[in-house]
Amino acid sequence: MSEAQQSNGLAQFFEQMTRANQQFVEQWVKASTTAAADPNAAATNPYAQLFSGFWQGASQLGQLQQQLYQQQMQAWQGLSGQTQDAAVPLKDKRFSAPEWEQYPFFSYVRQSYLNTSKWLMDMVDKTQNDEEQKERLRFFTKQFIDAMSPSNFALTNPEVLKLAVDTKGESLVEGMKNMLEDMQKGYITMTDESKFEVGRNMAVTPGTVVFENELFQLIQYTPTTAEVYERPLLVIPPCVNKYYLMDMQPENSLMRYLVSEGYTTFLVSWRSATEDMKHFDWNDYLERGAFKAIEVVKAISGREDINALGFCIGGVILTTALAVLRAKGDNSVTSATYLTSMIDHTDPGQIKVYIDENMLRFREARASEGGLVKGKELATAFSSLRANDLIWNYVVNNYLKGKTPPPFDLLYWNSDGTNLPLPMHTYFLRNMYQENNLTKPGAMTLCGVPVDVRKIDIPSYLFAAQEDHIVPWKSAYLSTQYLSGPQRFVLGASGHIAGTINPVTTNKRNFWVNDQLPASADLWLEGAQSKPGSWWPDYSAWLAGHSGEKVKAPKSAGNRQYKAIEPAPGRYVKMRAE
């Protein structure tokens, strides 16, 4: 590559980064000034209301500005060697490299940024908004603060500059290539995707697709034991991502583990929504999804009763399905398992900052015409909840440093999203998140019958993860106060994914158990016993007690009515959402 080409590449790189930075600031300023100038702006701009109270605390701005001025002066004096830079303690891995301390200028830039960040958050805390709006304002202010970190820009990141010098500019040139490739893909690369392929080294637990319709394929896994439990298990994974989170690689596959424990296991592989599904609603996911899967599993197994497991939103689908079945006097499912799932959405975690009445009304107005919620939109929303780890970390690594992220199966799965039908997704947001109707008997009517989760009186196993930012564990615990049957609640360490996918092969972390189920999650934890390692054996022991006797394992998948269609993992899971 010639010097002229390198120079041109660098110029384009800085132009792209500068333009993105400018657009972000302009959007922030436009939102705040619009709200200040027009109190009715929230009707057309759902973000404008966040700033309606921003300027009402103007009398306090002087004090906050004076504090910021003093802190900035201390940082400047530290740069000139007059005093130590200790206004804001440094506990941020973005600035952990020694270069941030070695060079006074970058030490000042870092401290100035941290001071300003604290000043902005203090100002948010003093706005006149109610607590719900203030919480949203905190979130979006932090989004802005994180985006504007000096670590995110080449000229204010000493690590980036040092690497550029050491590589004679090649790191920035490679970063430019990475950014252009990601712009074409439409998402930030979080892992070396060349190392993974669904069906080759992901989702490889042996099985057979025994049924399919326009909504899902049903996989029957191949037994690995001579005998199996007579009552089969139907697994309903989330439909916002591909199912193979539960069948990642052999050493961390929950499906492989369940099969090895002797359970006849079936799994729903949801299809990423396409245009022909744009009118599908929640009833479709029950009638064409959960109920059809139950019907097929019963027919193949020859059983009138089965066990069922739902993970995340798959657990919500399972809950509504069970409530409908109970209303109709159908006892097909005799035990239920809920993994990181909620019934009560009073406190659904940070994701609620994206859900408000204006947004829902806008989507509901379009829902009658049908449409799709793109998987990329959903993935971006979830990534933004941990923006420094799941967005800006990769911007710096991939674009500024020109590096390729290491292979990581979980992040490969995280980038492999699915589309959802707009009517189904909007119904979910309205009834579960916004109005919490699942907790109100008769507030929802599905498949022609009123829903009452309190009538779900079958044995239930509920698992939650202590650090889950998508399904807070205390919210998951509230399900115990609505379900009527005997229950076992288990709390795992770590987060939404790592807490759930904690294989016995590594036996890491720990989990808590407590046979008592007080009304308070805190009281439950006070009386809980910590146990080391994976929670999977605890679940298997519970499930065995609800799976009947051992019988001879079937020699083949399906039956005369439902014949083998293709080997697992099937076509649907391999389709990439556009």
Q: Is 312 a catalytic residue?
A: yes
Helix, strand, coil percentages (3-state) for the chain, rounded to 5, are 50, 15, 35
- Give dist(CA 235, CA 218) in Å, integer: 10
The SS3 of residue 40 is coil
At a CB cut-off of 8 Å and minimum separation 6, what does 44 contact? none
CB 468 within 8 A of CB 344: no
- Cα-flanking dihedrals φ and ψ of residue 531, to 5°? -125, 140
- Cα-flanking dihedrals φ and ψ of residue 30, to 5°? -60, -45
CA 60 centroid distance within chain: 38
Is residue 165 classed exposed, middle or buried when 0-12, 13-18 and 19+ CB atoms within 10 A define those classes? exposed
For 362, the token pair is: 């806008």
- Give dist(CA 416, CA 244) in Å, integer: 10
- Give dist(CA 340, CA 508) in Å, integer: 19
Cis-peptide into 569, omega within 30 deg:
yes
- Give dist(CA 336, CA 320) in Å, integer: 12
The SS3 of residue 187 is coil
CB 57 within 8 A of CB 127: yes
- Give dist(CA 378, CA 396) in Å, integer: 23
DSSP readout, 78-144?
HHTTSS---SS----GGG-STHHHHSHHHHHHHHHHHHHHHHHHHHHHTSSS-HHHHHHHHHHHHHH
Q: Which of 173, 176, 312, 372 is catalytic?
A: 312
- Give dist(CA 255, CA 211) in Å, integer: 18
For 312, the token pair is: 């995340």
The SS3 of residue 265 is strand
- Give dist(CA 429, CA 446) in Å, integer: 15
Query: DSSP secondary-structure letter at 273?
Result: P
- Give dist(CA 167, CA 6) in Å, integer: 12
- Give dist(CA 119, CA 110) in Å, integer: 14
Cα angle for residues 270, 500, 251 (degrees, 5° grid): 85
- Give dist(CA 350, CA 471) in Å, integer: 9
- Cα-flanking dihedrals φ and ψ of residue 309, to 5°? -130, 135
For 200, the token pair is: 């080759």
Q: Which residues are catalytic?
A: 312
